[in-house]
């Protein structure tokens, strides 16, 4: 049934994929993110974050307090590259 349980809505990552990865030894949010793109979609991990952390905690016998979330970086939402370039050029002038 885990195949039909979506953990990451942005990148369609299932609970089965997540559990398999944890079993293989990928036990940090950042590692799982690099393989699956979890946390890299439009919601930036706001929806899946705690679900992923809870799975890692349960599988590794840690507390939620001990699990590290991903490193947060700008931009928070999608920005067209052209707009960023335009703003960058303003500084040169």
Partner 1 sequence: MKEVELLIIGGGPAGLCAALSAAESSAKVCIVERNKSLGGQLIKQTHMFFGSEKQYASIRGIDISGILLDKLNHYKDNVEILTETTVVGMYEDGVVTVLHKEDNYYKIKPKAVIVATGAFEKTLAFPNNDLPGIYGAGAVQTLMNVHGVKPGDRVLMVGAGNIGLIVSYQLQQAGVQVAAILDAAPKIGGYLVHASKIRRMGVPILTSHTVKEAIGKEFVEKAIVCQVDEKFQAIEGTEMEFDVDVICISVGLTPLNELLAMRGCQTKYVPQLSGFVPLRNENYETTIENVFTAGDATGVEEASSAMVEGYLSGLCAASKIGYTPGNFEERKKDYIKQLNDLRSGPVGKHILAGIEQIVI
Max CA-CA distance within the chain?
Answer: 58
Task: Look at residue 20 and give its three-state secondary structure.
Answer: helix
Question: How many angstroms separate the Cα of 83 from the Cα of each of 9, 40, 49, 79?
Answer: 27, 21, 29, 7
Task: Look at residue 34 and give its three-state secondary structure.
Answer: helix
Stretch 9-38 residues interacting with partner 1 (CB under 8 A): 9, 15
Site pattern 73..92 for partner 1 (x: CB under 8 A) = xxxxx-xx--xx-xx-----
Decide: is 6 part of the binding site for partner 1 (CB under 8 A). yes
Kindly state the smallest distance separating residue 87's Cβ from partner 1, in Å: 5
Task: Please give the residue ranges that form the binding site for partner 1 (CB under 8 A).
Answer: 1-2, 4-7, 9, 15, 44, 46-51, 64-65, 67, 69, 72-77, 79-80, 83-84, 86-87
């Amino acid at each position: 049934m885990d195949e039909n349980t979506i953990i990451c809505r942005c990148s369609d990552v299932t609970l089965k994929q997540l559990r398999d990865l944890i079993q293989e030894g990928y036990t940090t949010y950042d590692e799982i993110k690099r393989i699956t793109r979890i946390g890299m979609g439009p919601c930036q991990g706001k929806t899946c974050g705690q679900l992923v952390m809870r799975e890692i905690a349960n599988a590794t016998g840690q507390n939620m307090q001990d699990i590290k979330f991903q490193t947060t970086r700008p931009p928070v939402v999608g920005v067209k590259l052209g707009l960023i370039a335009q703003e960058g050029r303003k500084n040169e002038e």
